[in-house]
Structure 1
Amino acid sequence: MSSELMDALTVLEKEKGIGKEVIIEAIEAALISAYKRNFNQAQNVRVDINRVTGSIRVFARKEVVEEVEDPRLQISLDEAKGINPNYEIGDTVEIEVTPRDFGRIAAQTAKQVVTQRVREAERGVIYAEFIDREEDIMTGIVQRIDSKFIYVSLGKIEALLPVSEQMPNETYQPHDRIKVYITKVEKTTKGPQIFVSRTHPGLLKRLFEIEVPEIYDGTVEIKSVAREAGDRSKISVYSENPEVDPVGSCVGPKGQRVQTIVNELKGEKIDIVRWSKDPVEFVANALSPSKVLDVIVDEEEKATTVIVPDYQLSLAIGKRGQNARLAAKLTGWKIDIKSESDARAMGIYSPETSSKLFLEEQKEQDE
């Protein structure tokens, strides 16, 4: 151990942000264990590292007593006064017991402690960086694949993409570049562990934020997302500015913006609908692309009955109920879809009593 160690610790403090004093105290604590282990000593000792020269000294700490019962921990008053006449019963005497070849053990121990602290600091930096990126999107490179995870390099660390978070319509190969959504960052004994997803609705939301400037600057707001990854998604959007078309902004010129996202998600179909605080209008929009004749709302049950033309029933429900299911997720309302003829037979629908909203819309469409 020498002044070179102190210089190295100073550099570490600047580069890694690890306090020099913190490392020295850790080395001193480690040296106490090393001393007891290597020299079979059980007494109470203190290790002192000179902050300038880096020299190390070991001191045995003994309590001053009238009658010594354990010489490893105690010293007689007469013997203590031989060292310093001012010692009294109950004082602690420090006697240097630095072994001759302790320097080699000290250097080894210091190296281990510094390496460990540097590793911990680097892990801490990575954790701090990625904990702020939870619920964010990053581009990574597929490194390797096993039965449980795809390991995706995010630069400083490998993230885990579980099988359950992989899109069913995708195949992955090493060196593929993929966009992933960070779902969770955990601090473990082996360092930070990052879990990512390709199926999370948040991925779709972040992709729209990247592709649509109006969403990024807050002019258009994404209100809700419903997704069945790899197959179909619905997203509701809204703008306070009446001059801004939120749906058109997301679609983009000639559909370029939404097409970029569809390509990233390997052909996943995306319905973009206008959000409304009126559940009648919102539920009708959410069932796009089907035409809706009326929406009957039950506020208490947070449920709706939707009437559609007979020829639109299968479109409204969707393949395996997908369209209705996604619309319910998007709006937060239960949706029961009925054909016009069934609704008429049940006495719950007639054009004369239909919501004014739909009569007006129908008129506009006819014109």
Structure 2
Amino acid sequence: MSILRRLISGWSDREFLNRAHVTRDGAITRAALLLLGKEESVDKLPAGMYEMTWKLVGQENAYEHFGLPFMLTTTRLYSRIRNIQIRLLPPGTLLQQEVSKYDEQSVLEALHNCIAHQDYRRPARILVTEHPDRLTFDSCGSFFEGTPDDYVLGAKSPDRYRNPFLVRAMSELYMIDRMGYGIKRMNEVQAKRYLPLPDYDLSDPEKVRLTMYGGVVDPEYTRLLLSNTDLPLSDVLALDRVQKHMAIPDGTASHLRKSGLIVGRKPRLRVAPVVAAATDIKADFIRAHSQDDMFYRRLVEQYLKTFGTATRSDINELLIPKLGEELSDDERQRKIDNLLTSMRRDGVIVNTGSRRFSKWQIAGRSG
């Protein structure tokens, strides 16, 4: 390494920039201006919008524009993002685990990808929007080579680039790699931080939007990752789609179900609460769900004590909003059927109407 340092220290600025592929035979290139140029050098570039913007939305609103040089701009923009620590509680423990809201290297990777793959023929800025629970990165131009899913598992490397000289220069400056591993790394890091994986939105053919999450979407997904740190990335990817109510292939769903990682039927698949068994707190899980049934029983009892009687329609209106969206309409009806049958068999309530037109009341009370 010391030999390399001595070698580099002997290079002139011209030779160093040529070897880094930022300049060509000492001539200033557009890549050199974008990465290293002073802010006023934007006038030497073709007409366009060479800037990055940070925008804060939510309870507070703010924004800031950043111009050249992009090599320094990304760090300045990152410093505006409120990257606080968030706390996660692994199942079966009393000690919280802290992770940063966003992984710094992943944020910079996303920003550098925006720079490398932006379509500079169109006058558009790179926009980073900070929401309370996520970041979105908008860059101009279609996804140039393949689709994001092609790169998630690291199986594909790009064959071509929209801005090949810029990509080469950024690679030499260690801002990006040219093998397509950036997307895979962002997903792996996010999985190790127990948070939802990044999403790409390509619905607008002239724009790529990346969403990076800084909070929990489905607590069961996060608990599962906290309890199963050795899950393969392919399984984590599929579970991430399930928690976001996105479709997964039938074969993948069958594999996850056999592995005890999901429950339910399409299109209402959901991450299974396997955490209980995995952490020896199955009894706690069962007690918690028994308390759910007791909660519904108490609601019915309180309703009948207050109003005297209730039809099935009354009970449906009482309970359905509290049963959760993860159950289908048929599953909600069956749950209420089972609840009423259980209460009747326990002698808590009686049906003084007919089977078709029920009229429920507290047992022992006159109609």
Q: TM-score, normalised by structure 2?
A: 0.27
Greater relative contact order (Cα 8 A, min sep 6): structure 1 or 2? 2
The structure with more radius of gyration: 1
Q: TM-score, normalised by structure 1?
A: 0.27
Higher strand share: 1
